[in-house]
C-alpha cells in the first residue's frame, strides 16, 4: 500500500474536524430596544481561541469562550452577524425603535396636545401646564374652555414644541373644560387644532379619602421616590388628580402622591375639618426584643418614621397633640424618654429617645384591636463574642436574590425547562435576575454564595435562615416579611450585577457594590464594604444608598450585596469558581464579625 493510499484511508477513518459554534445569549432574538446608537451583545463561541468578529468588528473572547461587545446599531430591524475564522456564522436580530419624530415645516400642518391624556382634577393655586407638538415656526394659541385663552411659546425656537401655563384662581372653582390648542392662520394660511383627551375639573374643596389596601406607597412626585408605606384605612386629604395619581396634602408645606387605585372615599365626616385626630396617652412596655409603645390615636392618619442618632422620631399628620400621660415600664432599658411637640398646625412629633446608637430597628403600625398606633423598637442583639463561636446568639437571614422561574405572561416557567439563549423575545418571557455570556443564571449563583455564607456563619455560632433554599418561588415583597417572621437580627440579600441596554460595559471599572437604605443599616453595609476592599480582587464601586425593596427593611439592619458583574466573561467565570464563592462568603462573614467588634481569633494554644 503506497503512502498516498494510507493517508487517504486515515482521513476517511478519522473523525471530522469539530465545527465552530456561536451562541448569542443577549439580547433575545427579536428583542425591542429603545432608540440608541450602540448597545452591548454577549454570548459564547467555540473554540475560544478562534478569531471572532461581529458585523466585521473584532471581538475579544475570554479563555472560556465568553464574549461581550459594545457595537453600533441601526433603527428598525437590525442584525448582529457573528463569524469565526473557520467560516462558522450566526446572527441575532433585534428591533431598534426610531428616534423621536422631527416635525417638518413643510408638508401637512399638524398639532397635537401631549399631556392631559386622561381626566384630571386641580385646585385653586395649581397651574395648568399645556404642552403641544406640531409643525414648527407657527403662532400657537391655547384655550381652557371659557376660562382662559392666550398665546403658546415655541421652545426652543423651530422645535415644534409649544407650551403655555395658566394659574387657577379661587374664582375658577367648579369649572370644567377640555384643554385645546390651535395655530393661527392668515387669509390664505393653513391652520391646525388639537384637543386633549382628558377633561380638567377645578375642585371647590379638598376630598378626604382612605387607603383601600395594605402597604400603600406615597411618593414625593407622580413618578418620584417613596416617602411612606401605609396600611389599609389611613385617611388622606387629596387636592388634585392626574395620570392615575392623586396628590395628597400632608401639611401646609408637604405633599405626596398616591396611586388612585389604592384609595377610596373615606368613611365618616367630610372634609374640611382640622385636625383629623388627636393623640392620647402613651404607654411603654419592655419586650423580648426591646420596647413597645402604644400611642392613643383615634383615627388612622399618615405617619413617617425617622431614625435619629439617639432614637426614633414618629411624625403624625392631621394630628393635634393632646397627650397628658406617658407611662413608662421601669424594666425597659431601651427607651430613656418620650418627648413630643406640636410641630405644625396639623403635625405632631413623638421622639422615643434611646442611648446613642442603641436602636437596632423599629416597626410602626396601627393596632387592629384598638384605636392606637404601635411603635416597636429593637435593641441590639448580644452575640457571645467568644471564640470559636463568637456569633452564638445571633440570627442572620440570607436572601438569595431572584427566582428560578421565567415570567411568561401570567405563567411562571422553571428555568430548567427552557434553553434561555434560544428563547425569542416574542415568547413574552422575562428573566428574574441576570444571565452571563456562558448562560450562567444569577439566581443560581446567588444561592450557591448564600449557602457558603450560611455554612461559615453557622460555624461561627450564628443561627442562619434562608428565604429560599432551592428552586421554590418566593415573591419579592414577601422576603422582608419572612426575615422578621424567621426571627432575623440581620438581613443580607445576595446578588450579582448587570447593566441596562445601551450602556457601555467598558466605560468604567465594574466590580462590587454594597447598598443600604435605612440609617440603622449603614453600619452593616459599611462593615461588609470594608471587608470587600481588603479581600475581593475586583474594582470597588462603593458603599451606596439604594432604594431597593429588600433594603428598606426597618425591623433589622439590612444590606444588599452586588458581588460582581454576570455579563463580563471574566467575572462570570470567577463567580462560577467555588474558590471565589468562598472568598465572597468569607468577606461577608468578616464584615459581620467587624460589625459586632468581635476580637481576633486567639492563636492556637492560647485562651
Burial class (CB in 10 A: 0-12, 13-18, 19+), 310: middle
CB 257: neighbour CB atoms within 10 A? 23
DSSP structure class, residue 17: P
CB 562: neighbour CB atoms within 10 A? 21
The residues spanned by each domain of the chain are 21-96, 111-202, 207-265, 277-379, 395-404+441-595
DSSP structure class, residue 15: P
pLDDT at position 145: 95
Q: 41 with 94: CB under 8 angstroms?
A: no
Euclidean distance between CA atoms 137 and 449, whole angstroms: 61
Q: Given this chain, do its domains 111-202 and 277-379 carry the same CATH topology? A: yes
pLDDT at position 191: 81
Q: 443 with 454: CB under 8 angstroms?
A: no
Q: 62 with 573: CB under 8 angstroms?
A: yes
Euclidean distance between CA atoms 4 and 377, whole angstroms: 89
Q: 25 with 90: CB under 8 angstroms?
A: no
**According to CATH, what is the number of the domain 395-404+441-595?**
3.40.630.40
CB 278: neighbour CB atoms within 10 A? 17
Burial class (CB in 10 A: 0-12, 13-18, 19+), 49: exposed
Q: 3-state DSSP helix/strand/coil percent for the chain, to nearest 5?
A: 15, 40, 45
Q: What is the CATH topology of the domain spanning 111-202?
A: Immunoglobulin-like (2.60.40)
Q: Does domain 207-265 have CATH number 3.10.20.30?
A: no
DSSP of 253-279, one letter per residue? S-EEEEEGGGEEEPSSSPSP-S-SEEE
CB 22: neighbour CB atoms within 10 A? 22
Burial class (CB in 10 A: 0-12, 13-18, 19+), 116: buried
Q: 349 with 343: CB under 8 angstroms?
A: yes
Query: Residue 396 has which C-alpha cell?
Result: 442572620
Euclidean distance between CA atoms 351 and 339, whole angstroms: 5
Q: 516 with 551: CB under 8 angstroms?
A: yes
Q: Which CATH architecture has domain 277-379?
A: Sandwich (2.60)
Place of cell 450564628: 462
CA 201 centroid distance within chain: 34
pLDDT at position 190: 62
Euclidean distance between CA atoms 277 and 299, whole angstroms: 6
Which of 484, 308, 481, 459 lies closest to 391, judged by CA?
459
Euclidean distance between CA atoms 13 and 295, whole angstroms: 88
Q: 145 with 228: CB under 8 angstroms?
A: no
The residues near 77 (Cβ < 8 Å, ≥ 6 apart) are 93, 94, 95
Quote the Cα angle for 514-470-591, to 5°.
25
pLDDT at position 12: 42
Query: Residue 403 has which C-alpha cell?
Result: 427566582
pLDDT at position 231: 92
Would you call the peptide bond into 388 cis, given omega within 30 degrees of 0 as the criterion? Answer: yes
Cα–Cα distances (Å) from 157 to 4, 139, 154, in that order, read: 81, 11, 5
pLDDT at position 9: 41
pLDDT at position 575: 98
Query: Residue 299 has which C-alpha cell?
Result: 383615627
pLDDT tens string 239-255: 999 999 999 999 989 99
What does residue 450 show for φ and ψ, rounded to 5 degrees?
-65, -40
Torsion of CA 148, 150, 154, 157, to 10 degrees: -160
CATH of 21-96, one of 1.10.3720.10, 1.10.4000.10, 3.40.50.300, 2.60.40.10: 2.60.40.10
Q: 418 with 406: CB under 8 angstroms?
A: yes
Euclidean distance between CA atoms 262 and 213, whole angstroms: 6
Residues of the chain with pLDDT under 50: 1, 3-4, 6-17
Euclidean distance between CA atoms 219 and 230, whole angstroms: 11
pLDDT at position 462: 98
pTM above threshold 0.85: yes
What does residue 346 show for φ and ψ, rounded to 5 degrees?
-135, 25
Amino acid at each position: 500500500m503506497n503512502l498516498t493510499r494510507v493517508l487517504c484511508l486515515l482521513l476517511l477513518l478519522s473523525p471530522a474536524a469539530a465545527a465552530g459554534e456561536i451562541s448569542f445569549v443577549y439580547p433575545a432574538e427579536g428583542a425591542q430596544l429603545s432608540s440608541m446608537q450602540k448597545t452591548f451583545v454577549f454570548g459564547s463561541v467555540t473554540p475560544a481561541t478562534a478569531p471572532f468578529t461581529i458585523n466585521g468588528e473584532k471581538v475579544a473572547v475570554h479563555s472560556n469562550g465568553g464574549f461581550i461587545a459594545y457595537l453600533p446599531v441601526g433603527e428598525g430591524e437590525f442584525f448582529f452577524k457573528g463569524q469565526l475564522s473557520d467560516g462558522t456564522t450566526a446572527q441575532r436580530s433585534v428591533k431598534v425603535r426610531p428616534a423621536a419624530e422631527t416635525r417638518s415645516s413643510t408638508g401637512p400642518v399638524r398639532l397635537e396636545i401631549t399631556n392631559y391624556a386622561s381626566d384630571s382634577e386641580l385646585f385653586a393655586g395649581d397651574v395648568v401646564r399645556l404642552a403641544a407638538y406640531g409643525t414648527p415656526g407657527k403662532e400657537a394659541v391655547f384655550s381652557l374652555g371659557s376660562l382662559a385663552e392666550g398665546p403658546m411659546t415655541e421652545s426652543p425656537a423651530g422645535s415644534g414644541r409649544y407650551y403655555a401655563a395658566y394659574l387657577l384662581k379661587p374664582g375658577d372653582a367648579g369649572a370644567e373644560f377640555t384643554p385645546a390648542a390651535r395655530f393661527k392662520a392668515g387669509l390664505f394660511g393653513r391652520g391646525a387644532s388639537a384637543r386633549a383627551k382628558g377633561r380638567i375639573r377645578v375642585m371647590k374643596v379638598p376630598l378626604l379619602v382612605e387607603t383601600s389596601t395594605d402597604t400603600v406607597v406615597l411618593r414625593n412626585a407622580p413618578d418620584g421616590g417613596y416617602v411612606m408605606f401605609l396600611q389599609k384605612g389611613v385617611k388622606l386629604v387629596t387636592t388634585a388628580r392626574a395620570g392615575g395619581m392623586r396628590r395628597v396634602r400632608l401639611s401646609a408645606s408637604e405633599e405626596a402622591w398616591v396611586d388612585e387605585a389604592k384609595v377610596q372615599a373615606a368613611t365618616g365626616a367630610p372634609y374640611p375639618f382640622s385636625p383629623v385626630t388627636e393623640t392620647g396617652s402613651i404607654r411603654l412596655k419592655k419586650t423580648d426584643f426591646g420596647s413597645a409603645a402604644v400611642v392613643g390615636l383615634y383615627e388612622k392618619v399618615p405617619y413617617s418614621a425617622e431614625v435619629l442618632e439617639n432614637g426614633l422620631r414618629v411624625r403624625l399628620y392631621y394630628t393635634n397633640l393632646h397627650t397628658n400621660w406617658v407611662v413608662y415600664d421601669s424594666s425597659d432599658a431601651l427607651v430613656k424618654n418620650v418627648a413630643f411637640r406640636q410641630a405644625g398646625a396639623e403635625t405632631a412629633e413623638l421622639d422615643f429617645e434611646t442611648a446613642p446608637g442603641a436602636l437596632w430597628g423599629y416597626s410602626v403600625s396601627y393596632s387592629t384591636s384598638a384605636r392606637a398606633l404601635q411603635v416597636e423598637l429593637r435593641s441590639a442583639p448580644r452575640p457571645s463574642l467568644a471564640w470559636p463561636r463568637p456569633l452564638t446568639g445571633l440570627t442572620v437571614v440570607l436572601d438569595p436574590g431572584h427566582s428560578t422561574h421565567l415570567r411568561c405572561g401570567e405563567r411562571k416557567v422553571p428555568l430548567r425547562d427552557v434553553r434561555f439563549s434560544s428563547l425569542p423575545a416574542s415568547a413574552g418571557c422575562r428573566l428574574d435576575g441576570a444571565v452571563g455570556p456562558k448562560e450562567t443564571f444569577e439566581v443560581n449563583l446567588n444561592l450557591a454564595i448564600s449557602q457558603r455564607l450560611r455554612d461559615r456563619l453557622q460555624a461561627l455560632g450564628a443561627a442562619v435562615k434562608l428565604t429560599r433554599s432551592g428552586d421554590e418561588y418566593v415573591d419579592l415583597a414577601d422576603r422582608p416579611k419572612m426575615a422578621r417572621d424567621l426571627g432575623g437580627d440581620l438581613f443580607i440579600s445576595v446578588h450579582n450585577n448587570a447593566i441596562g441596554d445601551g450602556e457601555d460595559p467598558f466605560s468604567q471599572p465594574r466590580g462590587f457594590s454594597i447598598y443600604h437604605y435605612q440609617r440603622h443599616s449603614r453600619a452593616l453595609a459599611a462593615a461588609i464594604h470594608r471587608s470587600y476592599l481588603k479581600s475581593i480582587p475586583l474594582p470597588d464601586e462603593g458603599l451606596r444608598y439604594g432604594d431597593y425593596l429588600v433594603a428598606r427593611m426597618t425591623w433589622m439592619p439590612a444590606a444588599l450585596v452586588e458581588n460582581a458583574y454576570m455579563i463580563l466573561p471574566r467575572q462570570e467565570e470567577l463567580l462560577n469558581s467555588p474558590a471565589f464563592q468562598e472568598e465572597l462568603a468569607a468577606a461577608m462573614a468578616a464584615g459581620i464579625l467587624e460589625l459586632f467588634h468581635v476580637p481576633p481569633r486567639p492563636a492556637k494554644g492560647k485562651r
